[in-house]
Structure 1
């Protein structure tokens, strides 16, 4: 993964989110080198539909780092109503996705030109060998709340992928 030393943001290699991209979404952001977006198709009537929802949002795109040599991904979730409170949406997202967590910290920030809420926490569920760092941000768009979260194999991988997450957060714009 290439990284620009002065900003802690990964080098741009493309975009995702605009109409015609692999994952059309309410937002567009820059992608890091070799990260591959894949749309997630979810039929709400399917017996496995609940696997694609977390809190008030549904998974619409998974951006895979395996082609870049890492076991990590950015996931993009969309849902809730336009204008919904991003902190409340993010709190519900975290509560549904990490039943056992600690050191949960929320802060108001920016994602591109959007006002955003960001959360960091340690996922501590029984299936993990050790607590794992997690991070996500939420923005409200005219088409609903969008949550972007960074997933990785463990906390070390999470730290290595932060420049990719920062690239997405800082380059976020309306599609």
Structure 2
């Protein structure tokens, strides 16, 4: 995005908070004689996964007693990501910012100190909202201007989980951007961990922190 650098510095803090995711072609030889000789197999290791699919190194934790946000789950935090509890999320006066579908925002982890514009947010839904996948699907459905929603079964910290990857139309940039979230069941109800971002590039740069949260998650 040519103007991305200027956009990152110009976006108002309030907007960021409220915003609070090759086809291979081959050729065929004309004759058997033109075909290359067979290549002997090698013991080379397969290419590693893209960097954004690998978890960041842990530099803290969230969710347990004494952490910034006490939650039904705990997970590891990436370096310089700053968590903050959301006060009184069930207050109807704040519903536009703190409620989405069946879920209430409980904690947000700011990526700006780590160099990105976006948040990792933790949401909880009441136990009567059904299993984690149903709560996640309702959560995504309640978000404005979503498209291309893909929900799949996965694992978070070895626990059964559901994950949604989708796009949202950004009013600020007048373009689509990627977002994603995963959900797990807990004795206190479903927990949803969501990653947004100013745009798709920011979102992808923050994926290692999201993967760290997903792979290290434990139910408390």
Per the normalisation by structure 1, the TM-score is: 0.90
Instruction: Give RMSD over aligned pairs.
Output: 2.1
4+ residue segments displaced more than 4 Å: 4-7, 125-128
Structure number with higher strand proportion = 1
Tell me the residue number matched to 1:145. 190
Distance 1:6 1:123, change over 3 A: closer
Gaps of 5+ in 1: none
Determine whether 1:31 maps to 2:95: no
Asked whether the 8 Å contact 1:123–1:132 carries over to 2, the reply is yes
Find the aligned partners of 2:212 and 2:72 in 1 and give their Cα distance. Answer: 17
Deviation at 1:7, TM superposition (A): 6.5
Count of aligned pairs between the two proteins: 171
Find the aligned partners of 1:120 and 1:44 in 2 and give their Cα distance. Answer: 26
Structure number with higher helix proportion = 2
Find the aligned partners of 1:144 and 1:154 in 2 and give their Cα distance. Answer: 31
Deviation at 1:102, TM superposition (A): 1.6
Per the normalisation by structure 2, the TM-score is: 0.72
Asked whether the 8 Å contact 2:89–2:99 carries over to 1, the reply is no
Tell me the residue number matched to 1:90. 136
Determine whether 1:53 maps to 2:99: yes
Asked whether the 8 Å contact 1:133–1:158 carries over to 2, the reply is yes
Deviation at 1:151, TM superposition (A): 1.3
What's the CA shift string for 1:110-164, capped at 9, x where partnerless? 0002210000011125554210001000001001110000011100000111111
> Which of the numbers 204, 208, 216 marks the counterpart of 1:163?
208
